[in-house]
Chain A
Amino acid sequence: MHIDPNKMVTVKIDGIPVTVPSGTTIMEAAKKIGIKIPSLCHHPDLTVRAFCRVCVVEDTWSRRLKTACNNIVDECGDIFTNTEGIRRARRTILELLLANHPQDCLHCERNRKCELQTLAEEFGIRKNAFDPVYRPVPKDLSNPAMVRDMSKCIRCGRCVDACQAVQGVNAIGYAGRSTGFKITTAFEKPLSESPCVYCGQCIAACPVGALYEKDDTQKVWDALSNKDLHVVVQTAPAVRVAIGEEFGMEKGAIATGKMVAALRRLGFDKVFDTNFSADLTIVEEGNELFSRLKSGKNLPMITSCSPGWVNYVEKNYPDLLDHVSSCKSPQQMFGAVAKTYYADKMEIPREKMFVVSIMPCVAKKYEAQRPEMNSSGYQDVDVVLTTRELAKMIRLAGIQFGALPEEEFDSPLGLASGAGAIFGTSGGVMEAAVRTVYEIVTGKEPQSLDFNELRGHEGIKEASLDLDGTTVKVAVANGLSNAKILMDKVRAGEADYQFIEIMCCPGGCVGGGGQPFRTTAAIRSNRMTGLYKVDKDSKIRQSHKNPEILALYDEFLGEPNGHLAHELLHTHYTDRSH
Chain B
Amino acid sequence: MANQFEMQITKILDEQGRDQQKLLSILLDIQKASGKNYISEEAAEIVSREMGIPLVKLYDILTFYAMLETKPRGRFLIEVCNNAPCYVSKSDRIAQFLRQELGINFGQTTADGLFTLQYMPCVGACDIGPVIKIGDRVYGNLTEEKIRKILSDLTNNLEG
Contacts and interface: CB of A to CB of B under 8 A. Distances in A.
B70 A187 contact: yes
Range class of the B interface residue count: 10 to 19
Contacts of A175: 59-60, 63-64
A186 interface: yes
Given A170-B54, A170-B55, A187 B60 contact: no
A186 B58 contact: yes
A186 B56 contact: yes
Interface string B47-63: 00000001111111001
Contacts of B64: 175-177
Nearest to B63: A175
Nearest to B45: A186
Contacts of A176: 63-64
A174 B60 contact: yes
Contacts of B56: 164, 170-173, 185-186, 194-195
B41 interface: yes
Interface in A174-224: 174-177, 180, 184-187, 194-195
- Give the most central of B55, B56, B60: most A CB within 10 Å: B56
Contacts of A170: 54-57
Contact of B44 (A173, A186, A194): A186
A194 B59 CA distance: 13
A187 B54 contact: no
A173 B44 CA distance: 15
Nearest to B57: A173
A130 to B, nearest CB: 26
A183 to B, nearest CB: 10
Nearest to B59: A186
A171 to B, nearest CB: 7
Contacts, number: 43
A176 B59 CA distance: 9
Interface of A is mostly: mixed
B41 A187 contact: yes
B59 A187 contact: yes
Interface residues of A, number: 16
A395 to B, nearest CB: 37
A186 B64 CA distance: 13
B153 to A, nearest CB: 35
Contacts of B41: 186-187
A176 to B, nearest CB: 5
A174 B57 CA distance: 7
Contacts of A177: 63-64
Interface string A139-172: 0000000000000000000000000100000111
Interface in B5-56: 41, 44, 54-56
- Give the most central of A177, A185, A187, A194: most B CB within 10 Å: A187
A208 to B, nearest CB: 21
Nearest to A178: B64
A472 to B, nearest CB: 33
A448 B63 CA distance: 57
- Give the most central of B41, B54, B58, B70: most A CB within 10 Å: B54
A195 B55 CA distance: 9
Interface in A77-92: none
Contacts of A187: 41, 44, 55, 59, 70
Contacts of B70: 187
A187 B59 CA distance: 7
Nearest to B56: A173
A172 B41 CA distance: 16
A572 B72 CA distance: 41
B71 to A, nearest CB: 10
A317 to B, nearest CB: 15
Contacts of A174: 60
Contacts of B44: 186-187
Contacts of B59: 173, 175, 184-187
- Give the most central of A164, A172, A174: most B CB within 10 Å: A174
Contacts of B63: 175-177, 180
Contacts of A173: 54, 56-57, 59-60
Nearest to B40: A187
Nearest to A175: B63
A185 B44 CA distance: 13
Nearest to B54: A170
A187 B60 CA distance: 9
A170 B55 CA distance: 8
Contacts of A172: 56
Contacts of B55: 170, 186-187, 195
A275 to B, nearest CB: 37
B107 to A, nearest CB: 13
Contacts of B58: 186
A184 B57 CA distance: 11
Nearest to B41: A187
A187 B47 CA distance: 14
A194 B55 CA distance: 9
Nearest to A163: B56
Nearest to A176: B63
A350 to B, nearest CB: 43
Interface in A493-552: none
B145 to A, nearest CB: 38
A172 B55 CA distance: 10
A164 B60 CA distance: 13
A170 B63 CA distance: 16
- Give the most central of B58, B63, B64: most A CB within 10 Å: B63
A175 B61 CA distance: 7
B57 to A, nearest CB: 6
A184 B70 CA distance: 14
A185 B70 CA distance: 14
Contacts of A184: 59
A170 B58 CA distance: 11
Nearest to B55: A186
A177 to B, nearest CB: 5
B69 to A, nearest CB: 12
A441 B117 CA distance: 74
A187 B54 CA distance: 12
A162 to B, nearest CB: 13
- Give the most central of A170, A173, A186: most B CB within 10 Å: A186
Given A176-B63, A194-B56, 13 more contacts: A164-B54, A164-B57, A170-B54, A170-B56, A173-B57, A175-B63, A175-B64, A176-B64, A180-B63, A185-B59, A186-B44, A186-B56, A187-B70
8 contacts: A170-B55, A173-B59, A175-B63, A175-B64, A177-B63, A186-B59, A187-B55, A187-B59
9 closest A-B pairs by CB: A170-B54, A173-B56, A186-B55, A186-B59, A175-B63, A186-B56, A176-B63, A174-B60, A187-B41
